[in-house]
Amino acid sequence: MRLFGTDGIRGVVNEELTPEIAFKLGNALAKYVDKRIFIAKDTRASGDMLEAALVAGATSAGATVYRCGVLPTPALAVITKLEDAIGVMISASHNPPEFNGLKVLSRGFKLPDEVEETLEKRMNEIHYSPYNEIGCVVDYKLAFEEYTNYIVQQFEGLDLTGLKILVDAGNGAAYETTPYILRELGAKVDVIYNTPDGYNINVDCGSTNPKKAIEKMTNHNLAILHDGDADRCILLDEKKQEVHGDKIIGLCAKHMKLEGRLKNDVAVGTVLSNMGLEVFLKNNGIKLVRVKVGDRYVLEKMLELNASVGGERSGHVIFLDKSTTGDGIITALETISVMIKSGKKLSELADEIPDYPQIMINVKTKNKLVVEHEEVKKLIEKYKREDVDIVVRPSGTEPLVRVFVQGPNEEYISNAAYDIAGKIEELSKGED
């Protein structure tokens, strides 16, 4: 079974993801890719264990390892780009605490599928350097400063004085970086869920659970909600309404076009992007190009089309003139910049973009091939219409099949989704 999924190697710790795998990855990277490896992690308790295994594997093959500590994934992307190096991010992003993951970044970018396949094969070829060529470990204490300075410089001239912002750090990797950057730019900041204990990352907080932030909002202009590794950002407007990635892409793309920053009048989304976003962009002279789910595929298409912005409803948005990956704080600051320059509140901007009803049902199953079953295909054909979009796909990171339906009629799409999900559940019984 292939180790690398849609977002690196990921799984339940000590079941699907073990220190042995981390050791082999570190060893293969040192032997075949680079003798300098930067490592960062989110706040999961298992991060220390996996970091130690990575370090052992890499140094035993002669690499120098730079430990960056707890940082967001996009921070490591920035550092590997600035340092012209390889990095490994230890994080399972938005997944629960029992999961963790290993993402390899090369000079700011995630590895292409074919490179991951080659690397995985080489992970079975353990190499030990002679004793006098063994690598060493450097605690890279400049990592926090290098990343935060980079972000502040990217938004030089953006004055957040007078804005009151609530940050839900999700007990994750941005519990220090995001508040620091916002305050450097002049905002008044209140922070919640910024006390990670190793086991509370993404638990009833952050971008995957906005209810707690909604309860904590008072007279804030907006709230910024991150996932575990802070490559995502969901916002709450001043009315405590959720502003998801599709709305962020729409309002930012429109403003970027007005500023002359939107190359080729195109934005990139996925098969799950809201049809309302597509309508809004079209009305503003912007084409939405869809790709399969996964930020790596969004980025590939952006590079192919020379697009400036792209992303997913989950809040993973890429602004290619500022970063090579989704970055939650960049996403937030780009949106705030539109608010300030337009003189509009976030709710006013978000309300310009229609939001068609959508429903997503996750069906737990280890048999992901069930999506190819004839009975599932017949149900999809039964419910498909010109104004209805149906996507049934296996998750790349969890033992799930996701059933996604969107269209103008909420009752119709709900019936479609539950019928298809019920059939998948029925067919999966006895096979897991």
Q: Which residues are catalytic?
A: 93
> Angle 145-140-18 (CA atoms, 0-180°, nearest 5)?
120
Give residues with Cβ within 8 angstroms of 357, minimum separation 6: 406, 407, 408, 409, 410, 413
DSSP-based three-state secondary structure for 7? coil
Instruction: Report yes or no: 57 and 27 within 8 Å, Cβ to Cβ.
Output: yes
Instruction: Report yes or no: 16 and 5 within 8 Å, Cβ to Cβ.
Output: no
Instruction: Report yes or no: 40 and 68 within 8 Å, Cβ to Cβ.
Output: yes
Q: Please compute, for residue 322, the number of CA atoms within 13 A of its CA located in the half-sphere on the CB side.
A: 27
Give residues with Cβ within 8 angstroms of 173, minimum separation 6: 40, 41, 42, 43, 70, 71, 72, 73, 75, 91, 226, 228, 229, 230
CB count, 10 Å around CB of 342?
14
Instruction: Report yes or no: 51 and 88 within 8 Å, Cβ to Cβ.
Output: no
Instruction: Report yes or no: 317 and 233 within 8 Å, Cβ to Cβ.
Output: yes
Give residues with Cβ within 8 angstroms of 71, minimum separation 6: 40, 41, 79, 143, 144, 147, 173, 177
CB count, 10 Å around CB of 257?
19
